[in-house]
Amino acid sequence: MSSFKDLFTKFRLTKVKLNLKFAELEYDPKSDDADAAWELCVELLTRVITQGLASDAGDEKVALDSVHSVFQLTRDILKERGRHAKEFSKIAFIVLNEIIRPFTSKWHRKSLLGELSNPEECKMFRKELSELQTDMRHYAALLADMAGFPELAVIDDDYTDIDEIKGLPPASEAITIAPIYSSEEPEVTIPEEKKA
């Protein structure tokens, strides 16, 4: 078994300050932890909090609201499962309060003051969002691992193209297959260079 310190180190959540007693506690997740972890992992991996935001796309206020929504999502999971998902709960409280809260506190105030209409502030917001996204991808990887999906627990700080990360050919070179719900025979298209 490993300790929480080992876990946080493995998943590069090194900005978190753990008290010595907690850091040395044994990390031993149960099935309730796995269920709670999966619920939150799905939410995180489908939100701007872990996904890149191109400089010419999206809206800072909408992105801030999405990041903030992770509090309620996590609270809902904690209320439903927290007493039985003790390892998940311990980690979730730390991540909410030490990783997400400093970001949302700063930018919520700036948003209320109208500073997200200033291009320089928007640029700074996106820079800090990018840093948060890195931490949250690490957290999502930890949750995926806890949920029993180690294949999703890949940490890649140079997060660019998902096809590149998986080692797949670019989408333009991929094999396409007709949808399975079609009444016609499936049509398989293979790029010319793949035919042999």
177 vs 187, higher pLDDT: 187
134 has pLDDT over 50: yes
Per-residue pLDDT, averaged over 94-110, amounts to 94
* Rounded-to-integer distance, Cα 116 and Cα 124, Å: 10
pLDDT of 40 reads 94
pLDDT of 169 reads 42
* Rounded-to-integer distance, Cα 136 and Cα 141, Å: 8
Task: Kindly report the pTM of this predicted structure.
Answer: 0.75
- Tell me the pLDDT tens digit for each residue of 140-157: 999 999 999 877 766 655
Q: What are φ and ψ of residue 188, in 5° steps?
A: -105, 130
- Tell me the pLDDT tens digit for each residue of 115-128: 999 999 999 999 99
- Tell me the pLDDT tens digit for each residue of 21-49: 888 989 999 999 999 999 999 999 888 88
What are the residues whose beta carbons fall under 8 Å from the beta carbon of 28, sequence distance 6 or more? 1, 87
Total residue count of the chain as it appears in this document: 196
pLDDT of 103 reads 95
Pick from 98, 43, 39, 95: nearest CA to 69: 43
Neighbours of 58 (CB within 10 A): 16
Pick from 122, 187, 154: nearest CA to 50: 154
User: Any idea where the domains of the chain sit in the sequence?
Assistant: 2-157
Report the sign of the C-alpha dihedral through residues 66, 72, 75, 80, in that order.
negative
Pick from 186, 188, 87: nearest CA to 142: 87
Q: Say which amino acid occupies 89.
A: S
The token pair that represents 98 in the structure block = 């030490």
pLDDT of 72 reads 95
Bridge-partner residues for 2, per DSSP?
Answer: 27
pLDDT of 18 reads 83
